[in-house]
Each structure stands twice: as structure tokens, then as C-alpha cells.
Amino acid sequence: MEKRAFRHFLKVSDLEASDIREIFDMTEHVRKNPEHFENRLSRKTVCLLFEKSSTRTRLSFEAGVHQMGGDTVFLGGDSQLARGETIEDTARVMSGYLDMVIIRTFGHDRIERFASRATIPVINGLTDGHHPCQALSDFSFIGKELGAVQGIRMAYVGDGNNMAHSLMEAAALLGVHLVVATPPGYAPDKEILRWSSEKAKKTGGSVTWMDDPMEAARGASVLYTDVWTSMGQEAESSIREQAFSGFQINREMLSLAASDAIVLHCLPAYRGKEVTEEVFEGPRSKVFAQAENRLHLQKALMLFCNRKG
């Protein structure tokens, strides 16, 4: 079956800064004029192949596809993948039926293997290694909230895994000064840190790691956190709660940030763990507007992936 030129989106560093700017501009068009995009996915079928739970990613993609005139199919844990059909064979079969696939899975290698055999666009809806749709959406949201992204100071406080990795890659491409603070045993991937800090030197930003969360927060305009125990790590939750106990966004940490700092969280959140109830529900927290932005950004992202060669 002949397919049009397309792009996969597996991690933020698949993009150039100019691609991100194009997606952000399109996001604003989609947000302001959704009626102009009502037929852009007509007669397209988009599958969500999800091997982990989701509320925001599933719903924002499904709603976005429907708002642009397309159809969605949700495939959870009961496909033949669960019985051992290979991810490569699954990609070849799905490419014959569908126009795009959003995948949420465990190891990042699984989505890379799928994409290597797919002849339709593949978008990463979260792997253990990356959460690129969330990070792109968050920087488009920050741009709207703060009026700019380049040159801002941001602190990510928490686990150095998928969320941190995607924020690091995006910060590097966009010229953000990002400090990632994690306990020593939970630092981000060394290669992603190296790539991000090198790239940031060329864009006027910086991406650094430290194990002091209060120092990271000092003067930041954005404080960002994620859960201490990600999906698939539930057996480690009590040991993680001990390791991360000093990494909570609370009143003291917020007092060290810029006086007009905003607090972000990809959600779902565990109040009293990575963020206090007081900060989560307080005036600096923008987490629900942040979540809503996923819809607009992902509509723009699907249009980008669908047509680019």
C-alpha cells in the first residue's frame, strides 16, 4: 500500500528547533481556530496502542483526532502482542489498516522496533525512557504563560527518568536554562545529559544535573515535578519514597524560586509526596491548564507528522 511522506516522533531530539517552532505556531492556530481543522483527519484512522494506563494522553489524542474528523481505535493489553506476536510483525500489519499509531509502552526499544517496520507515522505516548508529547506541550504552555521560553530558568525536581529526559532534550533545543535535581541514584541517563548540555551550549541555554533540590529551585521561573514511582516501578515505591523525601515541591522550595514562579506537574499527582496539597492547589500551580494544552499541541503534532517527509 502506498503511503504519503511522514515523520515519526519517538523523542524530542528527533526534531530540530525549527520543527518545534513550527509545531508551536500550529498549536496556536489550532487553539484559536479549531473549526479550521475540522476535516484535516477526515477518513483517517488513528490507533492508540497502549500497554500502560493513561487518562490525559489517551483522551487528548482521541478527542483531538475526533475534532479533526478522524476515527480512533484503542488497543489495550489484549492484542496478540500480549501472546507473543512480535512488535515488528504487529507494525507491518497495522501499517496496512491505519494512518497513524500512538504507542505507550515500556522499554523505549519497543517503540523504536515498531517504528523501524511501520510505514505510517508513529508517535510516542510515553515509554520508560521518554515522554516527548508531554514535554513539547509543556514548553508551548510555558511560552504562553511566561511570554517566552528561550532564556527562562527552570528546575525539574524528582526522578531522572522519562519526563526529565524529554524536558532536557526540549530545553536544550529551545535555549532554556534547566537544572535537573534528583537523588544521586536516580540521575538522568548520562548520554541524554551529555547530548542536552552540548546542544544547549549552541542555543544559549544550559542543561545541568545536581542532587540539591533547593539549590536547583533558587531563582527558577518554573518548578516542575513528576511522580516518584513511575508506571512499572510499583515494587520500588517504599524505597523511592525514602530516597525522594527531600525532593518535594513545598512552601519552602517555592519561596526560593522567582516570586512569580509557576509550578507544573505532568500528572497524575500524589499530593503529600512529590508536591504538597498547599502548593498543588495554590495560586502558583498551573497544572490543569498545563494538562489542557496537550489537546492543542497534539493536534498540531499529528498534522506535522502526517505530512512531513
Active site members: 104, 131, 134, 226, 266, 294
Residue 67's φ and ψ, nearest 5 degrees, are -65, -20
User: Which of ligand NVA, ligand CP, none lies near 55, with the C-beta cut-off 5 to 8 A by kind?
Assistant: ligand CP
Which cell numbers hold the place of 219?
A: 531563582
For residue 290, the number of C-alpha atoms closer than 13 Å in the C-beta half-sphere is 24
Closest CA to 41 of 149, 131, 120, 137: 120
Handedness of CA 111, 13, 155, 182 (dihedral sign): positive
Convert residues 5-34 into a mask of x (bound to ligand NVA by CB under 6 A) and - (unbound). ------------------------------
Hey, which residues between 116 and 155 contact ligand NVA (CB under 6 A)? 126, 131
One-letter amino acid for residue 60 of the chain? S
Exposure string (b/e) for 102-141, b if CB count within 10 Å is 16 or more? bbbbeebebbbbbbebbebbbbbbbbbbbbbbbbbbbbbb
User: Which of ligand NVA, ligand CP, none lies near 230, with the C-beta cut-off 5 to 8 A by kind?
Assistant: ligand NVA
Helix (H) or strand (E) holding 149: none
Hey, which residues between 112 and 151 contact ligand CP (CB under 6 A)? 126, 134
Q: Does 180 bind ligand NVA (CB under 6 A)?
A: no
Chosen residue from 162, 225, 298, 306 binding ligand NVA by CB under 6 A? 162
Q: Does 227 bind ligand NVA (CB under 6 A)?
A: yes
Measured between alpha carbons, how far is residue 182 from residues 19, 113, 244, 246 in Å? 30, 30, 8, 10
Reply yes or no: is the peptide bond before residue 268 cis, omega within 30 of 0. yes
Give dist(CA 244, CA 35) in Å, integer: 45
Residue at grid coordinates 489517551: 58
Single out the segment in contact with ligand NVA by CB under 6 A; choices: 25-33, 59-67, 144-152, 156-164: 156-164
Handedness of CA 86, 90, 91, 96 (dihedral sign): positive
How many residues sit in the footprint of ligand CP (CB under 6 A)? 9
Q: Toward ligand NVA, which CB reaches closer, 41 or 103?
A: 103
Single out the segment in contact with ligand NVA by CB under 6 A; choices: 36-44, 158-166, 211-219, 295-303: 158-166
Q: Toward ligand CP, which CB reaches closer, 27 or 95?
A: 27
Q: Toward ligand NVA, which CB reaches closer, 140 or 230?
A: 230
User: Which of ligand CP, ligand NVA, none lies near 145, with the C-beta cut-off 5 to 8 A by kind?
Assistant: none
Q: Does 57 bind ligand CP (CB under 6 A)?
A: yes
Q: Toward ligand NVA, which CB reaches closer, 169 or 226?
A: 226
Shortest-Cβ-distance residue relative to ligand NVA: 230
Site residues for ligand CP per CB under 6 A: 54-57, 126, 134, 266-268
